[in-house]
Structure 1
Amino acid sequence: MKHPLASLFASRVLSRAVASATLVGLATAVPGVYAQETSATVRGAVSTSSGEALAGATVIVTSNATGVSKNVTTDEGGYYSVRGLPAGVSYDIVVDANGWQKASTAGLSLAVGQSEVINYRLDAEEEVIVMGTRVAVDTAVGPNAVFDLAALQDSPSVNRNINDIIQQDPRLYVDQSRGDVDAVQCNGANPRYNSLTVDGVRLNDGFGLNSNGYPTQRMPFPFDAISSVAVELAPMDVVYGGFSACNINAVTKTGSNEFFGSVFFDYGSDSLRGDKLEGDNIESQDYDETRWGVELGGAIIPDKLFFYGAYEKYDGADLNNRGAIGSGAVNEVPVTQAELDEIARISREVYGFEPGRTASEAFDFEDEKYLLKADWYINDAHRLSATYMYNDSFNFTPSDGDLDEF
């Protein structure tokens, strides 16, 4: 149903080869810039039951998904810090010291940019088990909102867009008055002042072609691929820049020792849409839309090399809510259908210009995207992560922005 248009122009967006291969240092002494934007940290202090600092205690942090462990030793003050942990997964922590009973924390979930502070007191007589006790949770210094994998999975997302999730924070507003644009306003600022990073790669609208802040018509990566999202409104950190409103920082899932996957499908059409608006009858435009996707993750080499992939396809319609007087459109333009037809005839016959359709009809909207990711845990201090994202979107956009124009 694609036709030549004048009052409507075709906007085709192709973003491919947004790939990154980054060697991430997981050493606890000096945090890497990349790691601060895509990973998480666990830190705290270990002491005896009487409150004395316990130096030389071993702290082991193990990923439940990959089985990869990080070992550190407490310093003279009993402090420990485990940096560069992949975000969006859960961890088990075990603290062990000679002559003292072990302490542990099970199922600790870490979101992107979080710094979890957990303090342990070891007893000489009985084992102490700490079940996810939190002393403090921080991202970059400054106001922020963090959404882990559980929040992404439990929250409704009709549009399969992270905007549906982050708008739960009252400081973030999603403008839904312009159809599927869904522009994010942080503290009332224009969406063009935001910044979006995925696995440390910036995905901003560098040319200012879209009103949603994305470089593409819709979210440029599959919704199922995201494991954690953090929104930093005013991060006081040198690793952030290129925005004045907020930074939307997302990290993608990684494979695990156990294979996992999912499939989804949804369908919509004009027959499932209402035909009245505030009591007034409106003309229904013929259309149908389908959306489906699949994800799969697993291990190529257990505890060492992992893969993950996600695919999503949308084949739907962009509704044209403007029409002539008496057309029954949601927004009726103050001209008759005969006048629109006459304008179109003059445009074709006199000026040789094709103005497109003059009726209120739905236009095709296609969007295809996928993400591929590989993670290689080289050793305790280094991890190599490569991410490839592809998006191909086709849509018709009105050249006249006002609702009283056709």
Structure 2
Amino acid sequence: MRLTAIGASVLALTVACVQPAFAQETTSAVRGRVTDGGGRPVANASVTIVHMPSGTQVSQSTDTTGNFNASGLRAGGPFRVTVDAPSYDSKAVEGVQTAAGSTVTLNVVLDPQTGNDIVVTANAKRNGLAIAGQTSLNADAIQGIASVNRDLRDLLRRDPLTSLDPNPRGRAISIGGASPRGNRFTIDGLAIGDDFGLNAGGLPSARGIVSLDAIDQLNVKAVPIDIAEGDLQGGSVNIILKSGSNRFHGSSFGIFGDDLAAG
């Protein structure tokens, strides 16, 4: 087979334009097992998971072993998980919170039917979650973090494997001891790194790239080995913005000093 010069040029251009695609974690999951009072699995039970702020929902049925696994959910919450099965009282678990890239395990025990539905309030709510090589912060935890600069870097430094250069001109973030330029930053799955290498912090601007009030979830991973993460040598920072709603709210902040400080 002969390859003309034009064909070779097109082939070379096509190969050169191919870039690896990495799907950063922007969703969460809820899985669990539905059983009766004797520990026996309840098959074909209806499991409905509702994201309360937006009203979106996912419905599943348990398998023969009573298990269900709902993935691709919004990160955050709260969620309401309702389980219905013939001959059993309906049971709902409210206040379930999830984290980006993580799975919440929720086991439900159904009672024989008495005509009374049961509502359980989740008591395992975590505003900030830190596990090996990973830190997750939700909106409540972010609101409780003091940041004079209103800078994303002040959130990242909460991760035990992340260090912040105190130099105010750079404020470079190192994750797992790697170069700040080796980190990957995404917002809702879209990469927003410093392509030109002009800033020491690895971000495209010297200041925070997004308002702290707009962040619903922040996930920091040090040298992740998950195949879904890539194009990095240090750490992965995934930012998920809040969803819109019909409720209007805002915030304000400022810095001031009293007469004693001024004198």
Using the size of structure 2 for normalisation, the TM-score is 0.80
Q: Map 1:44-83 onto structure 2 (within 5 A).
A: 44-83=32-71
Q: Which amino acid aligns with 1:114?
A: S
Q: Structure 1 pair 267/143, CA: closer, same or farther in 2 (3 Å)?
A: closer
Q: Which amino acid aligns with 2:177?
A: G
Q: State the match for 1:158 in structure 2.
A: 148
Q: Map 1:52-131 onto structure 2 (within 5 A).
A: 52-124=40-112, 125=114, 127-131=117-121
* Aligned with residue 242 of structure 1, among 231, 250, 255: 231
Measured after TM superposition, the shift of residue 127 of structure 1 is 5.0
Q: Which amino acid aligns with 1:37?
A: E
State percent identity of aligned pairs.
30
Indicate if the aligned counterparts of 1:142 and 1:234 stay in contact, CA closer than 8 A: no
Distance 2:38 2:221 in 1: 39
- CA offsets 1:206-232 (integer angstroms, 9 cap, x no match): 221110110122122222211100111
Measured after TM superposition, the shift of residue 41 of structure 1 is 0.7
Measured after TM superposition, the shift of residue 267 of structure 1 is 4.9
| RMSD, aligned CA | 2.8
- CA offsets 1:234-278 (integer angstroms, 9 cap, x no match): 32321110112110111001112x412203242569x99889xxx
Q: Structure 1 pair 185/153, CA: closer, same or farther in 2 (3 Å)?
A: same
Give the unaligned 5+ runs of structure 2: 1-21
Q: Structure 1 pair 208/268, CA: closer, same or farther in 2 (3 Å)?
A: farther
More strand by percentage? 1
Measured after TM superposition, the shift of residue 146 of structure 1 is 0.8
Distance 2:136 2:45 in 1: 31
Indicate if the aligned counterparts of 2:77 and 2:95 stay in contact, CA closer than 8 A: no
Distance 2:31 2:43 in 1: 14
Q: Which amino acid aligns with 1:154?
A: G
State the structure with more CA Rg: 1
Q: Which has the higher contact order (CA 8 A, sep 6+)?
A: 1
Q: Secondary structure at the match of 1:110?
A: coil
* Aligned with residue 187 of structure 2, among 198, 203, 219: 198
Give the unaligned 5+ runs of structure 1: 1-32, 276-406
Q: State the match for 2:196 in structure 1.
A: 207
Q: Secondary structure at the match of 2:121?
A: coil
Q: State the match for 1:388 in structure 2.
A: none
Q: Map 1:2-401 onto structure 2 (within 5 A).
A: 34=23, 37-124=25-112, 125=114, 127-132=117-122, 143-176=133-166, 178-256=167-245, 258-267=246-255
Measured after TM superposition, the shift of residue 180 of structure 1 is 4.6
Using the size of structure 1 for normalisation, the TM-score is 0.53
Runs of 4+ deviating beyond 6 Å:
271-275
Distance 1:272 1:43 in 2: 56
Deviates more, 1:230-239 or 1:199-208: 230-239
Q: Which amino acid aligns with 1:161?
A: D
Indicate if the aligned counterparts of 2:49 and 2:57 stay in contact, CA closer than 8 A: yes
